[in-house]
């Protein structure tokens, strides 16, 4: 893992700017790459007849590594970025020299969660996202104390959500709804793994993080106090510190 670049994949429905608070301290130690994922941020949604699948998002990551001439990297992601990270682990494990899984889970959606995602996709396509998506998601994405007393974090998160393309939001929801269970792939990962979770994460709670960490004998689990589902936005110094302490 020594000297491998660090690739970080952002959460839904955000873009690579969510890493702004952690990028500088990490870049002082290693090369940091934070792409926008397909249909989000500045990356267009490619035209395709295939059903939305995170395997296509994983192929985007591998294609990026090929363009940058990187054989192996430490790959990590937050929330949906973690799902894509696990998709790369399933499809191209030889490209991964270490894993950073932040506020995510390795299991598939429940039927209820899948139905909610599909309904959100349909609404994004019919109404856009600016008038409702942030309001619907913020109570689950951020810790209660953050919502009460940190308007700058709430405002920055809202701005990121409202900047996203409706088609990209819909594609991401359908792709996440279709994702398979990745626990077996995670158990087979013979690389160092860091798992980070917010103490108050309501979407992928600490129990889900512990399940991933316990599936691997060499995994390190770090719980961030007072943070919710978006720890890189709520506690960037702690997230950067956890990654720096873990890197060799």
Residues 55-80: pLDDT tens digits? Answer: 999 999 999 999 999 999 999 999 99
Contact at 8 Å (CB) between 204 and 178? no
| Structural domains for the chain | 6-246 (3.40.50.1820)
**pLDDT confidence of residue 87:** 98
**pLDDT confidence of residue 108:** 97
Q: What is the pLDDT of residues 32-55, one digit of tens each?
A: 999 999 999 999 999 878 899 999
**pLDDT confidence of residue 2:** 64
The angle subtended at Cα 80 by Cα 79 and Cα 85, nearest 5°, is 100
Decide: pTM greater than 0.95: yes
**pLDDT confidence of residue 49:** 81
User: Which segments of the chain have a pLDDT < 70?
Assistant: 1-2
Kindly report the number of other CB atoms within 10 A of residue 238's CB atom: 20
- What is the C-alpha to C-alpha distance for residues 219 and 222, in angstroms, rounded to an integer? 10
């Amino acid at each position: 893992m020594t000297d491998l670049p660090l690739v970080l994949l952002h959460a839904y429905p955000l873009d690579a700017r969510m890493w702004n608070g952690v990028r500088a301290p990490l870049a002082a130690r290693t090369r940091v790459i934070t792409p926008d994922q397909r249909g989000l941020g500045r990356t267009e949604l490619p035209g395709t007849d295939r059903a939305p699948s995170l395997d296509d998002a994983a192929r985007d990551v591998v294609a990026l590594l090929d363009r940058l001439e990187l054989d192996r990297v430490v790959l990590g992601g937050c929330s949906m970025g973690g799902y894509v990270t696990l998709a790369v682990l399933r499809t191209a494990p030889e490209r991964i020299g270490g894993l950073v899984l932040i506020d995510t889970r390795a299991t598939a959606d429940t039927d209820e969660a899948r139905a909610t995602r599909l309904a959100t996709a349909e609404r994004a396509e019919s109404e856009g996202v600016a008038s409702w998506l942030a309001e619907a998601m913020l109570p689950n994405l951020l810790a209660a104390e953050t919502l009460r007393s940190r308007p700058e974090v709430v405002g920055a998160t809202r701005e990121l959500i409202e900047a996203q393309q409706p088609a990209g939001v819909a594609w991401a929801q359908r792709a996440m709804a279709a994702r398979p269970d990745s626990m077996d792939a995670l158990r087979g990962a013979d690389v160092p793994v860091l798992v980070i979770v917010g103490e108050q994460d309501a979407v992928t709670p600490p129990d889900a993080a512990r399940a991933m960490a316990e599936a691997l004998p060499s995994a390190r689990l770090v719980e961030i106090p007072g943070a919710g589902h978006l720890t890189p936005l709520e506690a960037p110094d702690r997230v950067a510190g956890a990654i720096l302490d873990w890197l060799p």
